Each structure stands twice: as C-alpha cells, then as structure tokens.
Amino acid sequence: MGQSTSSNLCTGRRPRTSLAEKKKILIVNDDGVFAPGLRCLVKNLCKRLGDYNDVAIFVLAPDRERSASSHSVTTRGSLTAVDVTAKLKASFASPNDGSHCLIAAYSLTGLPVDCAQLALEGTLFESDTPFSFDLCISGINLGHNAGTNVTYSGTLGAAREAALRGVPSLAVSLDIHSSGSKVADAESPFEHAAILASDIAHELVRGGLAATPSPPKEQASGAPPSASLWNINVPKVEAGKASARHPYPGVWLTRQSAFRIVAQFQLERTTANGTEVAPYIGAAVRDDALGTDTHALERGWVSVTPILADVELQYGCSNASEMRLRSMAEVTRKLAHRVNLALRVLDETTKA
C-alpha cells in the first residue's frame, strides 16, 4: 500500500467540502458592519455551524449606521464596497473557533437593502455568477422591532429584500435600549440573542426547514417565488439568568402587534429660510394583546413572527396564494416547536 493512501486513513479530520457544496448564509444589518450585534452573531454562527466545515458565511453590511431606513434603495451615484474580512476575523478569539466559516466580509457605502441586492444579484464575492444562498440573517439589531417598527426598520428591510428574492430570511432584534456607549459598543448584551439565532439557523439550514414549498405554477414561471421571512425579537436577559445558554422560558409563535411610537417635533427656531424643527421619539402606543410580539416580549418570551414579504400573498386570494400561506404557517410552527424542544433539552442537560 502506497504512502499517499495510508496518510489519508484514520487522520481524524472531517472530509473537506467544496464551496459549491456548502450551505451559504448571508449576514446583513442596518447598524453597520462593525456593530457589536453583527460581530457577536457571526462568531456564534461560526462556532455553532463550523464543526463539519459544510457552512460558508458571507457578510455585506453598511459602512455605518443606517437605522430606520426601511426598504429604501440607492438609485443615483455609485456605491463602494471595501473588503473587511481580515478586520472581522481579527475579532475572533482564536483561529480554531470557527473563523474558517467566514469566507468574505464587505462594508458598503449604501443602505441595508442595497447590501441584500448586491449580495444576491452581484458577483462581489469573487464568483462569476451570483451565489445561491440558503439563508439570510439580518441583525442583531440594537432595540426590538415589534409592532409597526417592522415598517421602519432597516433590519427588516434587508431581510425582506432577501425573502423577495427567494432566500429564507431571519430578522433578529434584541429588546435592549442603550443608555450609553458601553452598552452600544459591547458584544456581551447580544450573546444570548446570537446563541439563539445560531440555534435557529441550525434548525433551518441543517434541519431542512428553510425551504418553503411553492405551487407548481410559481415554480414554472421562471422567477423565484418569495421565501419565508421570520421576525425574531429577543427579550432582555433577567438578572440571575445571564449564565444560562437560553435564559428564556421558550419561543412563542406570534402576530405583529399595533405597537407604535408617536412622532413628535420640537420647534428649534424660525429663520429667514423657514422654520427649523427637531424630530424626537415621543410616547409609545402600547398593544399588549394576547398572541402579539409585544405581549411575548413583555413576559420574557422570544417572539417569532412570520412576515408576509410578497404583496400577492397579502392581497391575493388565489388558490396558489392560500397554499403558500398555509405552507409558511406550517413551517413556522415546526420551527417554533423544534426550537422550544431544543431549549427544553438544553435546560434539562444544564440541571443534570
């Protein structure tokens, strides 16, 4: 037996997988490419999914904060993408903590939806043709995106764009409000949300839940049908539970509430050019109805809300639309059930 044959036996190494065969995950956000929520998410995804070397993670995010940009896109001028892979990898604790999963990371002088469009339709990631991504995760956002915040959020805008282009997507937000730079700059408040998002990504990518079956008519049309979009809001971690892997009672399948923020304006001054006003966030109109995202958050539960990205699904009443809605609801129920089951198993293991 030749030496080359024997050297490949019993090495203990997992078989290598080519990039084309790997599951590909796109990470976007609206807080900027170096935001602590994104950094923490990428690290935990690499740690959770990097064990078999079958997942490839790509990052394309704005070069600075673009919060509340909703679904805005850039229509004039040019955008500049900068390779920040080395800088993002430098934040990993060691080369052995899954950083090999992070294939490429870019910052973009654009909006969150621009990032999603370029990643899904362009060839930025050193490929002759656009990648076919298996999952898109937008976040982790600083502050919840429950109620009508879904409309204003750039986090949701980027995830919605990916879903419209046929990629199952998660928009992940943490219900925490920064009162200073320490909270805004640190990764520690995002740790539990990142662990949860990584576990959900594992269920979607490796558990086979990401794909939403489509009616034959849509499959034959040529254009990819819109995919599932889940809005995930993670509550604050209660004191005394910070050491737990999942310090939440569980996951609720919820609907979007009518929670909204009242926009208010303060008169600054009147000049020859007009009246200057300063917008600020006013009081919130609460909606704590049973089964809503805000109801779950107030009680410490993780909220998983399916969002309709396709206009036809919102207003159409065809049989095809009904099939898509039923399919999406079924996938979401399975997702919530599997994550709840994983939480219970982890809780029992911790107690043991």
Give DSSP secondary structure letters for 74-122. --SS---EEE-HHHHHTTSS-TTSSGGGEEEEEEESS-HHHHHHHHHHS
Please give the pLDDT value at position 159: 97
Mean pLDDT of the region 327-346: 64
Please give the pLDDT value at position 116: 97
Please give the pLDDT value at position 85: 96
- DSSP summary character for residue 245: S
CA 158 to chain centre: 9
Of residues 64 and 261, the one with the higher pLDDT is 64
Please give the pLDDT value at position 217: 44
Of residues 277 and 121, the one with the higher pLDDT is 121
Confidence of residue 161 (pLDDT cuts 50, 70, 90): very high
Mean pLDDT of the region 218-226: 56
Q: Is the pLDDT of residue 302 over 70?
A: yes
Return the domain boundaries, the chain: 17-257+288-351
Mean pLDDT of the region 239-264: 75
Q: Which of 25-39, 205-219, 230-244, 298-312 is predicted least confidently? A: 205-219
Q: Which of 41-45, 216-220, 255-259, 319-323 is predicted least confidently? A: 216-220
Q: Is the pLDDT of residue 45 over 80?
A: yes
Please give the pLDDT value at position 188: 83
Q: Is the pLDDT of residue 13 over 50?
A: no
Q: Is the pLDDT of residue 257 over 80?
A: yes
Mean pLDDT of the region 33-44: 96
Burial of 195 (0-12, 13-18, 19+ CB in 10 A): buried
> How far apart are alpha carbons 49 and 199 in whole angstroms?
9
Q: Is the pLDDT of residue 185 over 90?
A: no
Q: Is the pLDDT of residue 108 over 70?
A: yes
Confidence of residue 187 (pLDDT cuts 50, 70, 90): confident
Confidence of residue 87 (pLDDT cuts 50, 70, 90): very high
Closest CA to 204 of 230, 235, 226, 224: 230
Confidence of residue 173 (pLDDT cuts 50, 70, 90): very high
Distance of CA 284 to CAs 126, 261, 263, 281, Å? 46, 4, 9, 9
Highest mean pLDDT among 3-7, 16-20, 147-151, 203-207 belongs to 147-151
Q: Is the pLDDT of residue 63 over 50?
A: yes
Please give the pLDDT value at position 202: 87
Q: What percent of the chain has pLDDT over 70?
A: 71
Q: What percent of the chain has pLDDT over 90?
A: 40
Of residues 4 and 114, the one with the higher pLDDT is 114
> How far apart are alpha carbons 252 and 6 in whole angstroms?
52
Please give the pLDDT value at position 306: 85
Please give the pLDDT value at position 290: 87
Please give the pLDDT value at position 36: 95
Q: Is the pLDDT of residue 348 over 60?
A: no
Decide: helix, strand or coil at residue 180.
Answer: coil
* Domain 17-257+288-351 = CATH 3.40.1210.10: yes
The pairing of strands 23-28 and 81-83 is unpaired
CB 107 within 8 A of CB 39: no
- Averaged confidence pLDDT in the chain: 79
Q: Is the pLDDT of residue 20 over 70?
A: yes
What is this structure's pTM? 0.82
- Which residue is associated with the tokens 């095809």? 320
Q: Is the pLDDT of residue 105 over 80?
A: yes
